[in-house]
Amino acid sequence: MNSLKMAWGALHYEFLMQVRRPTLWLTFLGFALLLLNRSLIGGMIALHAPTLQLAALLALLTNWLAPLGVGIFLADRLPRDRRLKVEELLNTLSGTIRMRMLSKYLGATLATLLPAFLLYLLILGFAVWQTGNFLLIPPGIVCYAVIVLPGMFFVSAFSIACPAVIWGPLYQFLFFGYWFWGNLLSPTSGLPTLNGTALTPIGTVIDISFFGISSMRGVAGPSSPLNGVASIVALLGLAILALVALFKFLKWQQARQ
């Protein structure tokens, strides 16, 4: 019971530390100004897709930029602890490294996902206002969970783990380039890209596999639902592996001190 209280306290601390950052909210406000565009959302509405497919398209639209913000803002969690000497303080507590790491991951991730989810609700609400179709809301929530969250947890895990071994600003720079190369670059562009594979956290493969989208950013569809399942399993599995690797590294690092 004491361990659970400590884990909850650490999670609560990480959540508040992250959610109170003004730059986090200002960044997602900027994303909202870019994505709440009549031509973007109106173009999707003009396709006259069924309600479920329109909800899936809106979830994918949110994912163009939201995971980019999530990854960049989470990349400084461990470096900031070191810079502010919080890591040394935490090492004096009785909680295990695993508990602190999971609390940090869940607390910081949930806090960063809050403005990302509110951004999606704004986009969904704008589409409901444009179409007058309130039936968009229930499938919209389902689509967010299925299309957006697996990639978000994938991005969050690597954005917390990688800066433990490489310079944080370098990771942020590389992640920025990776996001556009591996998720938004069309596979038909002539350049190799991860877009269209199971390792596409933007959710394109999940979108065309589960919701019957004909094509999206050069990725042909629809495809078998098994491809969508494979993408979700691959993204969440790699997220877990990244966290396990981080735990092993932090344990090794503490043993050397």
Phi and psi, residue 219, nearest 5°: -90, 120
Residue 186 has pLDDT above 90, yes or no: no
pLDDT of residue 156: 96
Who has greater pLDDT, 39 or 28? 28
- Which segment of 47-51, 86-90, 104-108, 114-118 scores lowest on mean pLDDT? 86-90
Mind listing the pLDDT tens digit for each residue in 33-91? 998 887 788 888 887 888 999 999 999 999 999 999 999 999 988 877 777 666 555 55
Measured distance CA(109)–CA(19) in Å, rounded: 10
pLDDT of residue 89: 56
Measured distance CA(216)–CA(204) in Å, rounded: 7
The mean per-residue pLDDT over the stretch 216-242 comes to 86
The mean per-residue pLDDT over the stretch 205-229 comes to 79
Query: What token pair was written down for 137?
Result: 């809301």
Task: Tell me if 162 sits within 8 A of 246, measured CB to CB.
Answer: no
Tell me the Cα Rg of the chain.
19
- Residue 115: CB partners within 8 Å, gap ≥ 6? 24, 25, 27, 28, 69
pLDDT of residue 91: 57
pLDDT of residue 98: 81
Measured distance CA(121)–CA(174) in Å, rounded: 29
- Which segment of 105-109, 168-172, 228-232, 248-252 scores lowest on mean pLDDT? 248-252
pLDDT of residue 42: 82
Counting runs of H as helices and runs of E as strands, what totals does the chain give?
Answer: 13, 2
Measured distance CA(78)–CA(197) in Å, rounded: 30
Task: Tell me if 39 sits within 8 A of 195, measured CB to CB.
Answer: no
Who has greater pLDDT, 38 or 244? 244
**DSSP for residue 213:** -
Measured distance CA(201)–CA(237) in Å, rounded: 12
